Every structure is written in C-alpha cells, then in structure tokens.
Structure 1
Amino acid sequence: MKANTIYQMDCLDGIKQIQSNSVTLIIADPPYFLGMTHNGSKGSFVDLAICKPFFLELFKEFKRILRPDGVVFYFTDWRGYAFYYPLFDSVLSAKNLIIWDKLSGPGSFYSYCHELILFHTSNTKLHLGGSNIWRNHSFGNEAKYTNGTKVHPTQKPKELIQKMIEQHSQIGDLICDPFCGSGTTALVARTMKRDFIGFELDLANFKIMRERLQRDLTQIETIDAT
C-alpha cells in the first residue's frame, strides 16, 4: 500500500496490506446500515448483525497497524452503538465516548442531533482535558442532496476532522480512513501535511470523491480497481 493514495477496494483486504505499527491515527466512518440519516435513507438491524465477523476482523487489523501511541476515532449512531461497542471494546478497548452535537438534524419525534464516536488509544501518557461533547454544525438538510457543496450523504465537516488530526498526529504521520466516502479526511490530512491512505469500495462514491480531490487537492492519488 502506497501512502497518499485512495484505493477503490474492500477496506479489510486493503488494510491487511498495511505495515504493522505504522499508522498514527485511524478515522473510521462506516455505513450505519440502519435508522434514518440526513439523506432520508433507512436500513435494518439485520443488515448490521450479519456484518459482525467483518467488523471483528477489521478491529483486529486496526490494532495491528496502529503504532503503540496510536488513536482510533470510530463513528456510529445511537442504534449502531449497541452492536459496535462490544466488538470495538473487546479488541481495542474503548477509552472514551465522544458525543458529536450537530446542532440540527432530521426526525419526526425528537430530532437526531448527535452522533457517537468511540475513542481508543493505548497511550497511557495522553492527557487531553476538555469535554467529550464536541459541537460542530453538520450539513443539515443539505445532506439530502449530492450536488453543490455536499457530495456524500454522510459527509463530515472539515472542522471536526481537523480537530482529530490536530490533537492526535504530527506532520508526516500516517492517517488511515477505511471508509473514505467523500474524501474529507484525505483532504484535511494532506492540507495539514499528514500522509494518508484510504479505501472506498462503492464505485459511485469513489468517482465522486475522485472528482472532488482532483479539484481541491493535487497531492493524492486515486486507484480505481476497475
């Protein structure tokens, strides 16, 4: 696997080719599979449950490629948390749960205004302070569309990713995003002079992301498996 490259392939297959103890920071935003998201799509818990062996193996690969002082941020929502937490904690050990307050959201009952971020590190010398509630505006209702400034239904704001990278990496460190989506993590990482490697299986998403990165960033390569 070559640094500063995004591969159109299954992330588990790709991560198995990354050198052990080489990654400083993993930022993972997997498909949620269930519930209502900002783009109005729905799924079921069955979709998530059948993926258990995949995610268990993926977390083991996270542990292998992470440096001893490495960090993982893993996005989920209130429905997926019950599934992900036991798997994540059994392999990596969850050190904290961050609440991302999006300040707005959909929902006919109480609005879905937050997402959850599992946090892992083995660095016993790390002392951060501050709150585990992070407030960053999401894309709100724009997320129902894929044109304009919004190119992916679950795209995260640059400011949120920037905070993670600033606090947990240095210039030249390697960052991995297993589910690249719109390429926001790649874009922010390279802008901040970090090396990056990522994967995106969905070809349609990959092509949209490639167009975005070619427009906004010339320092990263995309490799289409087809």
Structure 2
Amino acid sequence: MYRYPSYNLSTTDLREFPGGTLFNGDCLDVIKTLPAASVDCIITDPPYFLGMTHNGQKGNFRDLSICRPFYRDLFHEYRRVAKPEACIYFFCDWRGYAFYYPLFDEILKAHNMLVWDKLSGPGNHYAFIHELVLFHAGKGANIGGTNIISDIKSFTSGAKSTDGAKVHPTQKPVA
C-alpha cells in the first residue's frame, strides 16, 4: 500500500487471500486503521524520486526534504503495526538511499541493505540493473543467504513469462 498522488484512491480496496489481506488505498490512512503488532511482513516499493517536487519539475536530492514528514510518519506506523518478529523490506534506488537510510535506521533499525540484481534495465550511463532494499529483521528472524539477490528476474529480464502480464510500470515479480 502506498500513496499514489496521480490516482484517485478515495476508498480502500480490500482483498482477502489465503494467509493474508491486501489493502489498496492511501497508505497513511489505511495503516492507521490496523491494530498494533498485527503485521507479519512489510514489503513496500514507493515511487523512486518521481513526482516529489513542489513545482512539477524533475526532482533532485534536495526535493526529498519535502517528503521527510511523510516518511517519518510512515516509518513510525511501520514500527507500530509490525509484529516483533516481522521483517520490513523498503525498496529504493541510488538517488534516494542516502535520504531514506537515516530515517529508516533511526525509527526501525536497519539491519542490512539488499541489492536486487535484475539482470537487465534501462540507462545510458551504465544500465540500472539493480534496486536497493533497506531491510529490518524482526526479533528472532533467521534470514539466510547473501544480501545480493540475483536469482529473481525482473519483468525487463523475462519474469513476465512466469508471473503473468505486466500491469504496472514498476511491477515486481511475485517471486
């Protein structure tokens, strides 16, 4: 769940699945309705540096400062709703990592940064073939392996052949 300013999500769309519930709505509105210590895992993929300027121009690092109150509130809500053993995965990119990390670490405690090697991607000054993921490990979480994830394909490198049709520009594969 995330706040998408360009979409009109005035009502919350709730979908039940075996073992969980998916909420589609304004994340700050929806998360405040959830009971404390009720969420098993948070995986979030906010827009990367897009649409975050006050004047509609292409963003730069300084423009993220207008988002600080939003992310501070959001991370506090993550901490409130996450069960003690919950893990939190916060996707970001190289342009915003330096902004997000101090807030995430202050409020949630960052335990690692994962790198998802997507195997392909756009870019003309080296290709953007990776995404960064801030990671918080809940109490007793035993997550093994390396912090480099290279065995899950992105949609641009073929995941759509196994995960259904691509319906969003930054869609993540189910895997």
Question: By the TM > 0.5 criterion, same fold?
Answer: yes
CA 8–103 in structure 1, closer or farther in 2 if over 3 Å, else same:
closer
Aligned match of 1:134: 149
The aligned amino acid for 2:89 is F
TM-score, length-normalised on structure 1? 0.59
Q: Given the alignment, which residue of 165, 169, 173 partners 1:149?
A: 165
Secondary structure in 1 matching 2:122: coil
Residue number in structure 1 paired with 2:66: 50
Q: What residue number does 1:97 align with?
A: 113
Choose the corresponding residue for 1:80, options 87, 96, 102: 96
Q: CA deviation at 1:14?
A: 1.0
Q: How many residues align?
A: 147
| Structure 2 unaligned blocks of 5 or more | 1-11, 52-56, 159-163
Output the CA distance in 2 between the equivalents of 1:95 and 1:80: 18
Instruction: Check whether the contact 1:75–1:116 (CA below 8 A) recurs between aligned residues.
Output: yes
Q: Which residue is 1:17 aligned to?
A: 33
What code does the residue aligned with 2:147 have? N
* 1:69 partnered with 2:85: yes
CA–CA separation in structure 1 for the residues paired with 2:32 and 2:173: 28
Q: Does 1:109 align with 2:125?
A: yes
Q: Say whether 1:120 aligns with 2:136.
A: yes
Q: How far apart are residue 81 of structure 1 and its match?
A: 0.3
Unaligned runs of 5+ in 1: 36-41, 143-147, 160-226
Between the two structures, name the one with larger relative contact order (CA 8 Å, sep ≥ 6).
1
Does the 8 Å contact 2:121/2:128 carry over to 1? yes
Query: Residue 180 of structure 1 aligns with which residue?
Result: none
Shift of 1:122: 3.3
RMSD after superposition = 2.5
Distance 1:141 1:97 in 2: 22
Report if the CA contact (8 A) 1:101-1:134 is conserved: yes
TM-score, normalized by length of structure 2? Answer: 0.75
For the residue of structure 1 that corresponds to 2:105, the secondary structure is helix
